[in-house]
Each structure stands twice: as C-alpha cells, then as structure tokens.
C-alpha cells in the first residue's frame, strides 16, 4: 500500500482485469462451436498461469507456444505474462531446424502446443505441455503483478528472410500503448467481432489480442485462414474486423465467393506486411471491405505507421482513392515521429540528415516511440546497428511526401541498382498488378555484366487469364522508364513466408540459375 | 542521443507534434470567423511559449489563465507546458477573493487574460499578459522537452463547494492517457468537430484539448455556452461532439429551438458532474443527441468512469434505455479499478472491505489508475485523507451492481440522514424530475428536532408549468418510502457553480432560515 497515487504499471494485463470486472458476461472468444465469456476467459487464463507456475515458470522465464490461431495461442498472450513469463510464439510453418534455433536461442524452458504440433514440440528437448493439459487443467488460479512496465512481455522472432531470425524484445508498456493505438485506428469497440486471420505468432498479432480485450470485443479463433473459411465467416459470422497481408486479401478477392458481391456490412481490414496494390484496394472496396493501410515491423509491435482515412476521401473516385490509400502514411497515434534519412549511397560517417520532403528522394525510414522494441534478445550488435539514438532504422527505403506521409519504395536489401540507377521494385510491381491478367508480381534484380543488375519480374496470373511475356513488358514500358522495365518475365508460383510475405531472397535463388547470362544483351 | 529504444515520455505535447507533422493543413481550432490549421496552431503555441519564456517562465513555474473557452485558453493548454510551466486555469465566474486565493495559493507568477477580464487579472498583483500580447506576439518559437512524465502539467482547483478550493496536481502521463481514453469512449477522429461548451477551466476540459489534438479533429471555441449559441452551432456548425453538465443539457432541451426537432445528424455528448435524470436522457435521444454518461472528479482528470453504451441497448425502449444509461458505469479504458468501500457509518479504524455487489448497500466509491492526481498542491494532509494506498476515495456514495457497474447515490456530504436512515438525495431528485412540470430539483436535509434531519426539495418548474407543493409531495410518495419523501417543496432558482453543479451548501444556507422549526410536525 505504498504506491503513489495515480501511478499504475502500464501492462495489457490491466485490460483483462477490467474486461472481467465489467464485461464478465460478454463473449471474449469463440472457436468452432464453443465460446468463452470474459469471466470464463479470465479464469481460464489465470488457471493456465497457475499450471505454468506449477511447472516451474518463474518471472522472466521464456515460454514457447506452438499453435495456430487457437484458444491456446490467444490465452497464452495473457496466461504467460500472468505467470511472470515471457511469451515466445513460434511460427508453425517454419522448418524443424528453424524452430529448433528459435527455441534454443530464446532459452525457453517449456513449450505449450496444440495437438497437431505434437511431434515438433517434442523434438525441442524441453518440457512440453499439450493444449489439454493447459486449458482443461482446472487447477488453482494464479496472477503475478508486473513491477516494471519496461520489462519483457514477449519475444517475437523476425521472419529471418536474411540471416538468422532475431528475437525482438517487447515490453509491457509498448504492448499496452500499441493496443490503445490499434483500438483508435481500427475503431474497436464492444460490438467488434474480430476474425483471427493474421497469425498471432507474428508480432503478437499486432497486439490485437490485447487491443480487443481492452475494447471488450469478441475474438474468433481460426485454425487456418484459408479463403473458404474466411469467406464463410464473412458471410455468416458477423465479423466486423480482420487483419491480413495483401497476399491473403488477394486470395479472398480472387475466390469464387467474391463473385457473390459485397459482404453486406462494412468490414474493417487492416493490411500490412507489404504495400497493397491500388488494384487490390479497389477490389476490396467493391466488396464492402474497408481497408486501412498499415506499415510496421516486428521491431515496432506491428503497425507503427497508419494511412488514416481522411473524411474528404468520401468524394474521391475509385482510382484516386486507391492511390491515396496506397501510401504508408504517418505515425500511429502513440508514435513520436517518423523520418526518412538521407543515407542511401552515403558512407557511414556522413552526418545524418533528413531527405527533402518532396515525394521523390529515396531514404531510409526511421521511427520513434514507445512501441519500438527494447532491442534484440542476446543481439546487442544487431540492436546497435539498427538504432540511431532513440530512432529505430527500419531498413526500408521510402520517400517523405510534402504532407508528412511516408511512402515505401523498397526494402533496402530488395532495391535493384541498374546502371547506377535505383529501381524501387514496389513501383514496378504495382504497374504489373494493374494489368488485368496479373494476380501477383515480384520484381528482383539479376546480375548482369553490363548494368550490374537488371530487373526481372516473376508473375502469377489470375485464374483463366493469359498474357505473353512480350505483352507484359510492353505494358510496363508504357508506364515506366526503360531502365525500370523488367527485362524478362517468369510465370510461376511465388515463395512466401508464414505471414504471406513474398520471399525475394528465395526467389533470387530460384531464378538466378535459370536466367540467361546477359539479359541485357537480349533486350537491348 | 542516449535514450533507450522505445522509451519516450508520455505527454500530451506529443499529440501536437504529431498533428502538426502529419495533419498540418487540417483545421485545429475555430473562433467566430477565424480558423487555425494545425500548422498555424502549433506555431502559435510555440511562439506563445517563447513569449512566456521571455517573460521569465522557467520549468515548474505556475502560469494562470483567466479566459473563457477562447483561443487563449485552448492554446495555453499547449503553450504553458511547452514553456515548461504548469497551467493554472481560473474559473472566471468566481468572486474576486476566491480568485485571489487560488492565484496566491498556486504561487502563479504570471496571469494570461482575455480582455474582458482585464480588471480582475490586474487585481492579483502579479505580472499580466493580455491575449493580444500573447497570441499576436510573433516572436521566436520555443519548446522545452518534458523529462519526467510524472511531472506537473497543470493545477486544477476544485470548485470548493465545501471549504477552500484545493489545487489538484495533474501529471503529463495522466493527461496523455486520459486523452487516449476520451478518444476511445467519445469515438473522436479526423471528422470530429468539437464544440467547447464544457469550461476548459474545469479539469482541463476533461483533457479534451489534448484528446481532440491527438485525434486531429477540430475544436470550436466559444465565449459563452448559452443555449442560443449552442443551438446555432448544432443547427449549422457541423458539430459532432460536445460535453456538458446535465443542467446545461436541460437548458438545451427546454429551449424553444428544441421544438424544431432532431439536429439532423448524430451528435455525441458526454455528460457528467451530476447524474442526468432519465427524463433528460429521453429528451436528448429524441433530439438526435447521443449521450454517454460519465462520472469523475477534478482529482481524476475528469471522467474516470464511463457508462459504455452496449450494442444490445439498440433494442431497448426509451424508458429501459434511459434507466440503463442512468448508472455511472465502469472504469474508463485506462482505469485500473473501481471499488465501493463499506465505510458508511463505520469507524476509521475498522478494516476496509468492499460492499456486496448487490446494487443496494451504500458505500464510498474509490478509484485507481494513472489518471488519478499526484495529490493536492501544498495539501499533504488533504491528500492523505483522500487516499487509501493507491486508491483515491472520491467522497461519493454509491452502490456496486452485480454486473460491476457503479451507481452514485449521493455525495457523502449531501446525504440526508433521517431517523437513522440514509436518504440518497439523487434518488429523490430523479423522481421529482420525472414529474412533467419539474425542470430541475435539488433535495437537501433540514435540521429537525425529531428526526435529526428531514429532506426538503427545491424545485424549478418548466416554462408555463404549474404544480402545487401538495401535488409534488403526493407524487413522490407514490414512488418512494415515506421517510424519503420531501417534507416541503420550495419553488425557486437553484444556485449553481461555474460548471453548472447545483451548490447544495449554498442552498442549505438559503433554505434553512426559511424553514419552519419542525417540518416533521407539519407533515406527520
């Protein structure tokens, strides 16, 4: 009883306590035909915390979870911190050696798993607890209080598209504030019914497990976000919100169910992970799916940047609206700044300045705020490399528009440099996906003896569509400078990460050996 | 550049910085025919901070403001903390000695004033700056950074309905979080046009100056919230939100303009300061004014408790809806708890327990959260008297309902104890205002030789309405126990505070000398 007046720790666990106290009868979670009220959900989470404590989890211990978007995964977002532990969500789509690396690196002493992942969980050589042993335990309730709001709540391993995955350290304070930001930007409330399409193993589902609990809405768990299932929920499940990467949304708009027209109520979707193409945004609008374009990284608790829908957009036509929505936007409501640093092509010891806000000059995007990670777990060198004082350098390249909004042009490592010119592959990809035959496109650089690199496109077509390589190249040439035009087009499936990101490094491995020695010689 | 990653001070000044960076062209503020974009607003605030610094304001200095809800007052909410100062808003309706006491007690070294308050401002014997010297100064911009989020941002003096006003210490962190809570509960956004009816000198306008800036909405300044002016804005000003005490709302619903029907769009109103009667809530709903019932105190940055509108209320009839909305509700989204303590009639050294959550047993309401004050300025004894560990005891009496919502029955000092029975005056007042002839009602206790106290009612009638004392007493008797029924009814104006609260202590001073020696003898 010595705490100061008005001095309470910021932790998302506060939200569960409040929801239980005042919305005990509202539905917290559903899964298949079962549902849990907030009263039941909170008791289950505390019993689960009791089970963890009974199995030796003490403050600071890492607890891994191997599950899809099921009740186990959602409850773990509360139960693990209630036990004082640090949540380590595992991407179940990773290969065994990748999972083993993360478990070992995190130092997790215990893994909770859904039954389908039984053998993977048992391969780690650490203590295991199956979903039944955790959710149905019925033991004593347990809840530790959080003493330090900057203490760890979770580790989120990056997808590791280059090099080893890094363990991003999330703190209670950041998770709390990001949840409040998401509530504002997604307009979550008591009437929210949120469908779990975005993997919770990715940035703790952008902190939505905590945000929806704060708003006392309902979370609909889902084994797999396949288009059939998502469409079924959209048509008959009363869903008001979901989040998904653009590739998942593309699968929805190209599903046969899309031909049956709008969903019948406004569904709010946050999308990020890659810039959605203007074409995709138009198709979603036509389905009654209102999209907010978000941008962030694992290091920023998910969306650090929001393209806030402007009231004046109501009078825009489809094309202008999609164009307005295609930029990444601005700091979310709890962010304390975004910059585009003039570092491209500069030496490390050059003084760092911001690029001119002209929408043209390419620089590296940096963000600041309480929703930036503490650092990389056991990765001080990587942390120092990614920070500039209190600013986190994202590794993404973009421009600053005169209105203060940021637009991403490319990942720093994905940019193609051809004859000394920077080619933002995202720009080329958006032109390609605006072609009626193209479903998805990725542009990569291929080594070329004359230009250093030249861009090539890898494309998947819409069902039943046909187009020739020559036609597509000619189409892009009408809208882009010659050096940006793909020198070749490959038609093939695009390799993707568990979160739906196109894996360009994998694409380069696949395409480079197939490519002619000097594409430039062919097309010159 | 030594700050840790992800560790930024929580201060509402962050919201201005963000709004300027990304919504520079949106309208921040209007006043009569002038408007300020966020770009202009931020520059003006920083120039004003520069002027303050130039006049010797250094970190921690108190700066008083004597203004109605004008640009000076709104800008001071940013400029004073930008200069490192502590904002002391003065209630311009107070008498000269009351104002002098507050200025002296706060230790303010400087007072900013609107021209209409010229003579009052000059009576304090401290440095003065008129609005023109501050807003139009055009000097250099200035902005100090906040080092400690628990440092003072403002002092808010209580209305002092009993004893001397106390200086409630607001901190940056609490103001920041309360702003986020208000955004959520009032659903503020880019399309918000907020009318300044609630005095900003009261709890810093419930932190709405900062909340609307965070949402990058528009604030409409107002000299006086008289019903004519408010109605004009409602009809033609595109207003989406305002806040007001029930008495102000009663003036609106009884204005001739109300006869012209609904406002034509949904207007969101937060009301607090006193419980709105079910009758008032019904009348507002009929006008298209959607009311959220809030409860809080100066000590809690305004609304600590919100009666969140439930989706299922959409199917309720007027009467049931008004009844549901009449309870105070639950902790706002950033609150960390509300209790009803079983202290009524208990000795100080009895162990403190919570009352049973049965909606019946009266106890003292206590709240907890980051939006509780640091304490009273130079008032340690009062702070200690009001706290119980980290809990703030509100001095309000209420009950805890089984669903976790709190309902206020009375201020502890307003309760009438008659023959050993507690009479919650609010309950009696609600019955009185449900009579078609009654506009407003206040119930107070009058000393009585037999019962100790007996309740009497003071009532104002609706325009043109007539009712006799006997009729009103008989009417209340049909709905209340005999001991709760007023023993006399006085028809007269109700004395009110600057924020529209009925001043019951003043009423007791006015009524007691008029009252017969033993009312109980008359009515028995």
Q: What is the pLDDT of residues B70-88, one digit of tens each?
A: 999 999 999 999 999 999 9
Residue with more model confidence, B420 or A431: A431
DSSP one-letter string for A468-505 = -HHHHHHHHHTTS-GGGS-S-EEE-PPPB-TTS-B-HH
B217 in A contact zone (CB under 8 Å)? no
| Structural tokens at position A14 | 């506060």
E-strand spans in B342-405? 363-369, 387-388, 391-400
For residue B183, give the nearest of A7, A184, A389 by CB distance: A184
Q: Is the pLDDT of residue A518 over 50?
A: yes
Contacts of A46 (CB under 8 A, 6+ apart): A79, A82, A141, A142, A143
Distance from first CA to last CA of chain A, Å, rounded?
Answer: 78
Which percentage of chain A shows pLDDT scores above 90? 68
B9-224 CATH, one of 2.60.40.420, 1.10.490.10, 3.30.2130.10, 3.40.50.12780:
3.40.50.12780
* Cβ–Cβ under 8 Å, residues B373 and B392: yes
| Structural tokens at position A52 | 């963890």
Residues on chain A touching B390 (C-beta within 8 angstroms): 1, 3-5, 7-8
B497 in A contact zone (CB under 8 Å)? no
A214 in B contact zone (CB under 8 Å)? yes
| Residue of chain B whose Cα is closest to the Cα of A211 | B333
| Residue ranges of domains in chain B | 9-224, 336-411, 416-523
Contact yes or no for A405 and B22 at CB 8 A:
yes
User: Which 3 state secondary structure label does DSSP give A351?
Assistant: coil
Count CB neighbours of A60 within 10 A: 11
Count CB neighbours of A490 within 10 A: 17
Residues on chain A touching B25 (C-beta within 8 angstroms): 403
Contacts of B288 (CB under 8 A, 6+ apart): B262, B263, B264, B265, B266, B267
A387 in B contact zone (CB under 8 Å)? yes
Mutation for testing the A interface, residue in B1, B2, B5 having most A CBs under 10 Å: B5
Give the pLDDT of residue A520: 53
* Phi and psi, residue B222, nearest 5°: -150, 130
Give mean pLDDT, residues A193-209: 96
For residue B190, give the nearest of A216, A310, A329 by CB distance: A310
pLDDT in tens, B319-376: 788 788 878 889 999 999 999 999 876 766 777 899 999 999 989 999 999 999 999 9
* Cβ–Cβ under 8 Å, residues A175 and A11: yes
Distance from first CA to last CA of chain B, Å, rounded?
Answer: 78
pLDDT band at A516 (very low <50, low <70, confident <90, very high): low
pLDDT band at A499 (very low <50, low <70, confident <90, very high): low
Query: A125: closest CA among A179, A64, A203?
Result: A64
B383 in A contact zone (CB under 8 Å)? yes
For residue A7, give the nearest of B14, B370, B383 by CB distance: B370
A265 in B contact zone (CB under 8 Å)? no
To 5 degrees, how large is the angle CA A385–CA A388–CA A390?
A: 125
Contact yes or no for A404 and B24 at CB 8 A:
yes
Give the pLDDT of residue B188: 98
Contact yes or no for B6 and A370 at CB 8 A:
yes
Residues on chain A touching B215 (C-beta within 8 angstroms): 184, 333
Query: A153: closest CA among A214, A99, A89, A199?
Result: A89
Alpha carbons B219 and B211: distance in angstroms, whole number: 10
CATH architecture of B336-411: Roll (2.30)
For residue B184, give the nearest of A184, A336, A368 by CB distance: A184
For residue A371, give the nearest of B6, B214, B383 by CB distance: B6
Count CB neighbours of B477 within 10 A: 14
* Cβ–Cβ under 8 Å, residues A203 and A15: no
Distance from CA of A212 to the nearest CA of B (A): 12
- DSSP state letter for B420: T
Give the pLDDT of residue B272: 85
pLDDT band at A203 (very low <50, low <70, confident <90, very high): very high
Give mean pLDDT, residues A12-39: 97
A335 in B contact zone (CB under 8 Å)? yes
Give mean pLDDT, residues A144-172: 90
Which percentage of chain B shows pLDDT scores above 90? 68
| Structural tokens at position A416 | 């193609």
pLDDT band at A136 (very low <50, low <70, confident <90, very high): confident
To 5 degrees, how large is the angle CA B480–CA B485–CA B491?
A: 125
Residue with more model confidence, A245 or A211: A211
Show pLDDT as tens, one digit a residue, over chain B (524 residues).
Answer: 346 898 999 999 999 999 999 999 999 999 999 999 999 999 999 999 999 999 999 999 999 999 999 999 999 999 999 999 999 999 998 888 889 999 999 999 999 999 999 999 999 999 999 999 999 877 899 999 999 999 999 999 986 555 688 999 999 999 999 999 999 999 999 999 999 999 999 999 999 999 999 999 999 999 999 999 999 999 988 999 999 988 889 999 999 999 999 998 899 999 986 667 778 888 898 899 999 999 999 999 999 999 999 999 988 887 788 788 878 889 999 999 999 999 876 766 777 899 999 999 989 999 999 999 999 999 999 999 999 999 999 988 899 999 999 998 877 778 888 877 778 788 899 889 989 999 999 999 988 888 878 999 999 999 899 999 999 999 998 888 888 899 999 998 898 876 677 888 888 888 877 666 555 544 43
- Measured on CA atoms in the order B414, B418, B420, B426, is the torsion positive or negative? negative
pLDDT in tens, A352-397: 899 999 999 989 999 999 999 999 999 999 999 999 999 999 988 8
| Structural tokens at position B438 | 């009654």
pLDDT in tens, B25-44: 999 999 999 999 999 999 99
For residue A180, give the nearest of B24, B180, B191 by CB distance: B180
Give the pLDDT of residue B524: 38
What pTM value is reported for the model?
0.88
A416-523 CATH, one of 3.20.20.70, 1.10.10.10, 3.40.50.1170, 3.30.300.30:
3.30.300.30
Give the pLDDT of residue A480: 82
How many pairs of residues across A and B have Cβ atoms under 8 Å apart? 153
Helices B172-186 and A172-186: angle between axes, nearest 10 degrees: 30
Contact yes or no for A1 and B336 at CB 8 A:
no
User: Which 3 state secondary structure label does DSSP give B115?
Assistant: helix
Query: A6: closest CA among B299, B409, B416?
Result: B299
Interface subset of B 398-417, CB within 8 angstroms of A: 403-405
- Torsion, CA B112, CA B116, CA B122, CA B126, rounded to 10: -10
A374 in B contact zone (CB under 8 Å)? yes
* Phi and psi, residue A58, nearest 5°: -120, 165
| Structural tokens at position A114 | 């859904």
Mutation for testing the B interface, residue in A2, A6, A153, A357 having most B CBs under 10 Å: A6
Q: Is the pLDDT of residue A222 over 60?
A: yes
Q: Is the pLDDT of residue A339 over 80?
A: yes
Q: Is B116 exposed, middle or buried (0-12, 13-18, 19+ CB in 10 A)?
A: middle
For residue B184, give the nearest of A3, A183, A334 by CB distance: A183
Residues on chain B touching A175 (C-beta within 8 angstroms): none
Count CB neighbours of B40 within 10 A: 16
Residues on chain A touching B17 (C-beta within 8 angstroms): 336-337
For residue A404, give the nearest of B15, B21, B150 by CB distance: B21
Query: A524: closest CA among A472, A449, A437, A464?
Result: A449
The alpha-helical segments, DSSP class H, found in A36-190 are 38-54, 71-82, 96-106, 118-122, 131-135, 172-186
Contact yes or no for A184 and B215 at CB 8 A:
yes
A168 in B contact zone (CB under 8 Å)? no
Alpha carbons A286 and A253: distance in angstroms, whole number: 10
Give the residue carrying structure tokens 């469409």.
A231
Contact yes or no for A22 and B310 at CB 8 A:
no
A4 in B contact zone (CB under 8 Å)? yes
For residue A370, give the nearest of B7, B214, B373 by CB distance: B7
Mean pLDDT of chain A: 91
pLDDT in tens, A28-83: 999 999 999 999 999 999 999 999 999 999 999 999 999 999 999 999 999 999 99
| Structural tokens at position B155 | 């002092």
Mutation for testing the B interface, residue in A2, A5, A191, A324 having most B CBs under 10 Å: A5
Residues on chain A touching B191 (C-beta within 8 angstroms): 311
Distance from CA of A214 to the nearest CA of B (A): 7
Contact yes or no for B403 and A24 at CB 8 A:
yes
Residues on chain B touching A333 (C-beta within 8 angstroms): 15, 18, 180, 183, 214-215
Give the pLDDT of residue A117: 97
| Structural tokens at position B108 | 């303010």
Interface subset of B 344-373, CB within 8 angstroms of A: 368-373
């Amino acid at each position: 009883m010595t705490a100061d007046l008005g001095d309470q720790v910021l932790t998302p666990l506060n939200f569960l306590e409040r929801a239980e106290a005042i919305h005990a009868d509202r539905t917290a979670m559903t899964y298949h035909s079962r549902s849990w009220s907030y009263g039941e959900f909170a008791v289950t989470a505390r019993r689960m915390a009791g089970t963890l404590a009974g199995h030796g989890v003490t403050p600071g211990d890492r607890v891994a979870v191997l599950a899809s978007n099921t009740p186990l995964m959602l409850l773990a977002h509360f139960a693990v911190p209630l036990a004082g532990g640090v949540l380590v969500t595992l991407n179940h789509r990773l290969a065994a050696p990748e999972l083993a690396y993360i478990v070992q690196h995190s130092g997790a002493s215990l893994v909770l798993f859904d039954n389908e992942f039984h053998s993977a969980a048992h391969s780690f050589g650490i203590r295991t607890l199956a979903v039944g042993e955790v959710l149905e335990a019925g033991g004593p309730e347990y809840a530790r209080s959080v003493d330090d709001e900057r203490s760890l709540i979770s580790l989120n391993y990056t997808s590791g598209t280059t090099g080893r995955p890094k363990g991003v350290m999330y703190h209670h304070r950041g998770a709390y504030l990001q949840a409040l930001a998401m509530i504002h930007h997604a307009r979550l409330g008591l009437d929210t019914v949120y469908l779990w399409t975005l993997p919770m193993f990715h940035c703790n589902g952008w902190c939505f497990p905590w945000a929806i609990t704060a708003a006392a809405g309902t979370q609909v768990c889902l084994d797999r976000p396949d288009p059939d299932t998502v469409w079924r929920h959209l048509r008959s499940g009363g869903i008001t919100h979901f989040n998904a990467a653009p590739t998942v949304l593309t699968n929805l708009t190209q599903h046969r169910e899309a031909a049956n027209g709008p969903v019948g109520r406004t569904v709010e979707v946050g999308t990020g992970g890659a810039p959605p193409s203007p074409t995709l945004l138009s198709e979603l609008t036509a389905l009654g799916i209102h999209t907010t374009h978000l941008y962030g990284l694992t290091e920023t608790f998910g969306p650090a940047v929001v393209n806030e829908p402007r009231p004046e957009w109501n009078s825009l036509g489809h094309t202008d609206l999609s164009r307005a929505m295609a930029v990444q936007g601005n700091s979310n409501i709890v962010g304390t700044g975004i910059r585009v640093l003039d570092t491209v092509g500069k030496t490390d010891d050059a003084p760092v300045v911001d690029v001119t806000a002209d929408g043209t000059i390419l620089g590296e995007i940096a963000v600041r705020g309480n929703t930036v990670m503490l650092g990389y777990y056991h990765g001080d060198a990587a942390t120092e490399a990614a920070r500039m004082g209190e600013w986190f350098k994202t590794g993404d390249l973009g421009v600053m528009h005169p209105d203060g909004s940021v637009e991403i042009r490319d990942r720093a490592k994905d940019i193609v440099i051809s004859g000394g010119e920077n080619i933002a592959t995202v720009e080329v990809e958006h032109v390609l996906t605006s072609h009626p035959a193209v479903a998805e496109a990725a542009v990569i650089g291929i080594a070329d003896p004359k230009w250093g690199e030249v861009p090539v496109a890898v494309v998947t077509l819409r069902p039943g569509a046909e187009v020739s390589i020559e036609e597509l190249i000619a189409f892009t040439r009408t809208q882009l400078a010659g050096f940006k035009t793909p020198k070749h087009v490959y038609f093939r499936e695009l390799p993707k990460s568990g979160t739906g990101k196109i894996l360009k490094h994998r694409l380069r491995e696949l395409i480079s050996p197939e490519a002619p020695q000097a594409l430039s010689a062919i097309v010159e």
